[in-house]
Amino acid sequence: MLKPEQMSRLLIVASKDQMAPVISELYRHHLFHIEDFVEAGAKDYEGFKIGTPLSGASEASSDLVKIRAIQNAFSINSEDFEAKQRHNQSALQVKIERELPAIEHEVEELTGKRSKLDAQVKEYEQKIAEISPFIGIPGDLDLYRGYSNFVIFAGYVTKEVSISVPHEMSFTKGKGKNFLVVIAPSERRNEVEGVLQEAGYQAVTIPDESGIPQDRIIFYNEQVTRIKKEIEEITHKLDAIKEKHAGFLVACEEILKVQVEKTEAPLRFATTNETFVAEGWVPSGSVETIRQGLVKATGGKIFVTELAISEHDIVPVEYNNPSFAKPSQLLMDTYSRPKYTELDPTIMISVVFPIFFGLILGDVGYGILLLVLCLGLQKFVKGEEGRQLLVVLRNASLSSIFFGVLYSEFLGFPCPWVYILPSRHLNIGGEGGHGPNIPGLMMVAIWIGIIHITLGRVLGMVNHARQDHGDHRIKAVLANAGWILVMWGILVLIWSMVQMPYMPDLTTLPPVVMNLNAAAVVGALMLVVGALFIARDSGLELVELPTIISHTLSYSRLVAVGLSSVAIAMVVNYIAIGMLIEPQLENITITGVIFILLGVVVFIGGHLMNMVLGILGGSLHSVRLHYVEFFTKFYKGGGKKYSPLGLTRRFTEDL
């Protein structure tokens, strides 16, 4: 549970002619994590060499590229694709050879045509944009060209212009910028240019067209509609092909992927002229199955042995958790996968995360809404990670409902039963009542922090005891104990001086020395001894002592973030019901109905926003408490992911 899956190191040696059956067998088991062979690149090196791919590797790769190109054109994503039926591998292989080139040809032709038409549409639209400024000016577009003694200016200006040179001008007023066309004699070009420059002249190209602008635009618009229709037809055709072949394509991709992986596996093996050596990791429980499978597949012409694991080996890590904790592996992978020798805290995060979430967003209403949302999304979310996230959120929502019952809250309203946890009902809207019990809530949060951090330190002791050696091991374990001692020492000191709710009261003990009572003395002793333990391991660590207080106080976010969402909920209720709806219900008028509708909108919108904020805040802060406050006490992470050779087939089957 708290440990990753036990791994064994396997060495496989056989002659090269057994390579294909060995790879097939390993692939079938989907358990062998290949340790890549790295060739020592020294000069005149005469030892193992990296293997060469099996035959058929390059054909399979190029077919795979083709298939992926088609999939791209269709935007088919095999991960999101639901398998309707499983294809038989050998039948499919025949089909690949026979049908794939035809499909590829057809798709290529159609997509090529489509992109050509797309380009044409763009071109015509550009032309329309060029012509449209001239639309207000009567006259043929031919008239703008071909003069030797006149020069034509066409463009935008910011204000009206008056030109002293004899000229012909058409001025169209527009929003912010005005369009103008000026025809003037060539020899006085500079003067006109000067005047235009002052008016912020921006030239436009005169379209290379002939005919009335309006007619040209109508013509091009017709062209665009025609081409768009053609594009639509092609898209329909492509859709039909997609509909027909999508299943075939994802199945092909899967088969080819398998083939490529199999044929390229030798690139990770060490080889000599006649033999090959494969090294890798398998879960210890499966060693025998794999050994027997290999012996059977090669007819006994193979040598398989288990190697001892040395301290410096980087062992791939596979989680080994009970099924309820599996979705929380997502939260672990976001931080870092545990190392092989480390404790795997997944199970703790899977229990504590929902509790924290519930403490923050403890509201029956929001909990039910989130639960419905999660269950509803389950149908649409594909892919492993999305599903895991949904399960994590679903558990969190259940916890939210549970804590909502304890807090007696429903969308910010009090429920008809009495709260069990300290009250979070703020006095918003002047309804009176008890008001929130902030000190009580705070103490609950601090207690959770104390316990969580102590647990973290205890795990730190276990981790150091397991991972370290010799002198350092004792020191590191004692340092972790020192941290616990300092924290509890400070606590006992505080208890001996101040009386607080939900905390032991040690202020009444008789004073022993210097007006301090026995508890204070014990607390101070714990603090000093703890600090000594820490200093023995590393003196610099003493600088970190204040983090004990800041990390413990950080758990007050469980209250603070929760209270802020309660406050928003209550404010929304007060604005929607207290201010907008209730006063209008006394005598209903037409404006009153509008106010009531507005109130309903505020109510729904406000609570939706608050729920989104609550989910974000609740989950991020719970995760953060784990990552920053909890994991820093014991967890390093950085383990290598266990990714065995093989593939879970979804669309095909081997027959």
Partner 1 sequence: MKASQIGMKAIAAALAVGLTGIAAAVAEMAIGSAAVGATAENKDVFGLVLLLTVIPETIVIFGLVVALLLIF
- Under the rule (CB under 8 A), what is the footprint of partner 1? 334-335, 435-439, 442, 553-554, 556-557, 559-561, 563-564, 620-621, 623-624, 627-628
* Contact in structure between 328 and 361 (CB atoms under 8 Å): no
What distance in Å separates the CA atoms of residue 255 and residue 653, rounded to the nearest whole number? 9
Minimum CB separation of residue 115 from partner 1 in Å reads 27
What region does 131 belong to: left with phi over 0, alpha with psi -120 to 50, or beta?
A: alpha
Nearer residue to partner 1 within complex by CB, 170 or 564: 564
Nearer residue to partner 1 within complex by CB, 339 or 621: 621
Closest CA to 35 of 316, 302, 447: 316
What distance in Å separates the CA atoms of residue 67 and residue 72, rounded to the nearest whole number? 8
Minimum CB separation of residue 560 from partner 1 in Å reads 4
Cα of 483 vs its chain's centroid, Å = 35
Minimum CB separation of residue 441 from partner 1 in Å reads 9
Instruction: Report the run of H or E that residue 14 belongs to, with start and end.
Output: strand 7-15
Nearer residue to partner 1 within complex by CB, 464 or 621: 621
Nearer residue to partner 1 within complex by CB, 322 or 435: 435
Nearer residue to partner 1 within complex by CB, 22 or 559: 559
Closest CA to 629 of 424, 319, 342, 335: 335
Cα of 94 vs its chain's centroid, Å = 40
Minimum CB separation of residue 576 from partner 1 in Å reads 24
What distance in Å separates the CA atoms of residue 515 and residue 580, rounded to the nearest whole number? 60
Nearer residue to partner 1 within complex by CB, 440 or 592: 440
Nearer residue to partner 1 within complex by CB, 278 or 330: 330
Q: Which two tokens stand for residue 504?
A: 């032991």
Q: Which two tokens stand for residue 567?
A: 């406050």
Minimum CB separation of residue 440 from partner 1 in Å reads 10
Minimum CB separation of residue 333 from partner 1 in Å reads 9
What distance in Å separates the CA atoms of residue 274 and residue 271, rounded to the nearest whole number? 8
Q: Which two tokens stand for residue 297?
A: 């597949």
97-121 burial, b for 16+ CB within 10 Å, e for fewer?
eeebeebbeebeebbeebeebeeeb
Nearer residue to partner 1 within complex by CB, 438 or 598: 438
Contacts with 65 (C-beta within 8 Å, 6 or more apart), sequence order: none
What distance in Å separates the CA atoms of residue 445 and residue 555, rounded to the nearest whole number? 6
Minimum CB separation of residue 142 from partner 1 in Å reads 50
Nearer residue to partner 1 within complex by CB, 31 or 623: 623
Using CA atoms of 261, 267, 272, 277 in order, give the dihedral in degrees to the nearest 10. Answer: -60
Q: How many CB atoms lie within 10 A of CB 617?
A: 20
Minimum CB separation of residue 270 from partner 1 in Å reads 32
What distance in Å separates the CA atoms of residue 421 and residue 433, rounded to the nearest whole number? 16
Nearer residue to partner 1 within complex by CB, 8 or 622: 622
Minimum CB separation of residue 591 from partner 1 in Å reads 36
Minimum CB separation of residue 557 from partner 1 in Å reads 5
* Contact in structure between 604 and 623 (CB atoms under 8 Å): no
